[in-house]
A = this chain, B = another copy of it.
Amino acid sequence: MDVIYVIDILGTFAFAISGALVASKKEFDLFGVIILAFVTAVGGGMLRDILINSHPINWIGDLNYIYTILTAVVCTFLFKSKIAPLRKTFFLFDTIGISVFTLLGLQKGLSLNLPAIVAIIMGMVSAVFGGVIRDVLSREVPLIFKKEIYASACLTGGLIYLLMKQIGVNENVNFIISAIVIITIRTVSVIYKLQLPKIKDDIFTRNQ
């Protein structure tokens, strides 16, 4: 599981950078930057742990999250103009990050004997709701409610993990395959600009 822990920390780092960049675009000060990096990086897991009553919550139980976030903020302050061009590298970290966040959140839910559907939701919450809290605090409509296939990738990957677990696939193999599914859906949807449908008029009206 050491590899997964490293990826978890790298994902946290990428999320924190993304939060710090949003904060700097909004002209937040150092404190605002730290808070936005913080909620982006660990807000999803924190919300999950509060919902399922798992204490100590993520960043209180493992201080490495705090240190990772502070490091990310320092890097953003020092190297901002060098970071911006690294967009593709960060997309990679971010995407691998959400796959690991999803599956770790799902496993945590299962380990607490939550129903399968709740465990899948908890995987998605872990990966996605840090960004939602970031957007609420910076007064944006949460991005993932409007534009991107993001949460759906997490939900699909979680579902596949559960199905493969049910039919007895080896846990490590299962983890890797499910992570690849999430990463693939996310990457393909960004490349081809895929979006979820919206409600405009109802289906019957449109067909008339």
Contact with B along A193-208 (1 / 0, CB 8 A): 0011111111111000
Sample 20 A-B pairs with CB under 8 A, ordered by A number: A23-B199, A24-B199, A27-B146, A28-B146, A29-B145, A29-B196, A31-B196, A32-B144, A50-B51, A52-B55, A60-B115, A63-B118, A77-B203, A80-B199, A80-B201, A80-B202, A81-B201, A81-B202, A82-B202, A137-B142
Assess whether A145 is in contact with B199, with CB atoms less than 8 Å apart: no
- 9 more contacts with CB within 8 A, not counting A23-B145, A79-B202, are A26-B141, A27-B146, A28-B145, A28-B198, A29-B145, A33-B198, A60-B114, A77-B203, A80-B202
A78 to B202, CA, bound (A): 5
Top 7 A-B residue pairs of the complex, sorted by shortest distance between their CB atoms: A32-B145, A24-B199, A29-B196, A80-B202, A30-B196, A53-B55, A28-B145
Is there a chain B Cβ closer than 8 Å to A20's Cβ?
Answer: yes
A188 in the interface (beta carbon within 8 A): no
A92 at the binding interface (Cβ < 8 Å): no
User: CB-defined interface of A65-92 with B at 8 Å, one 1/0 digit per residue?
Assistant: 0100000000011111110000000000
CA gap between A27 and B80 in the complex, in Å: 33
- Min CB distance A149 to B, Å, is 8
With both chains docked as a complex, state the minimum distance between the C-beta of A208 and any C-beta of chain B, in angstroms: 10
- How many residues from A make CB contacts under 8 Å with B? 61
Interface string of A164-194 (1 = CB under 8 A from B): 0000000000000000000000000000000
Bound-state Cα–Cα, A142 to B78, Å: 25
List the interface of chain A (C-beta within 8 A of B): 20, 23-24, 26-33, 35-36, 46, 50-53, 55-57, 60, 63, 66, 76-82, 114-115, 117-118, 132, 136-142, 144-147, 150-152, 195-205
Cross-chain contact A24 with B198 (CB below 8 angstroms):
yes
A30: B residues at CB distance < 8 A: 196-198
CB-CB under 8 A from A55, the residues of chain B are 52-53
